[in-house]
């Protein structure tokens, strides 16, 4: 999304990215981003929690207004309320398959 955001910004439209992958967002140079410490794909919160999702989006928009430097990433103070073991599983080698180059395999774990 950061690469797309850069192109949209180049056309004169301000953007705000929400990310759960700080390193990737920083590497692609998203113009403005907020970091949400949630499992990948859940930047706006847990499924079936519209109240929590609205609160996260509101916090992101509020933080976005204060971003002034290109490439700046601001962490939101929200934490995942679901399964507390998500982080331990997400960051272990047995749950993060890698390709021959050592980079994450986006197609998922190997059998």
pLDDT at 11: 93
Quote the tokens at residue 62.
């509020």
Distance CA 51, CA 56 (A): 9
Summarised one tens digit per residue, pLDDT across range 60-96 is 999 988 888 888 899 999 888 777 777 777 766 655 5
Where do the structural domains in the chain lie, given as residue ranges? 2-84
13 pLDDT more than 80: yes
How buried is 72 (Cβ within 10 angstroms: 0-12 exposed, 13-18 middle, 19+ buried)? middle
Greater model confidence, 88 or 57 = 57
Which DSSP category does 84 fall into? T
Average pLDDT, rounded, for the chain: 81
């Amino acid at each position: 999304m950061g690469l797309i955001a850069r192109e949209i910004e180049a056309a004169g439209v301000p953007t705000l990215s929400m990310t759960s992958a700080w390193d990737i967002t920083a590497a692609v140079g998203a113009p403005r981003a907020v970091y949400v410490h949630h499992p990948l794909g859940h930047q706006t919160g847990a499924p079936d929690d519209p109240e929590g999702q609205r609160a996260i989006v509101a916090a992101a928009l509020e933080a976005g207004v204060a971003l002034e430097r290109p490439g700046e990433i601001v962490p939101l103070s929200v934490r995942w309320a679901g399964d507390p073991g998500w982080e331990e599983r997400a960051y272990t080698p047995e749950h993060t398959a890698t390709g021959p180059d050592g980079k994450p395999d986006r197609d998922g774990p190997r059998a």
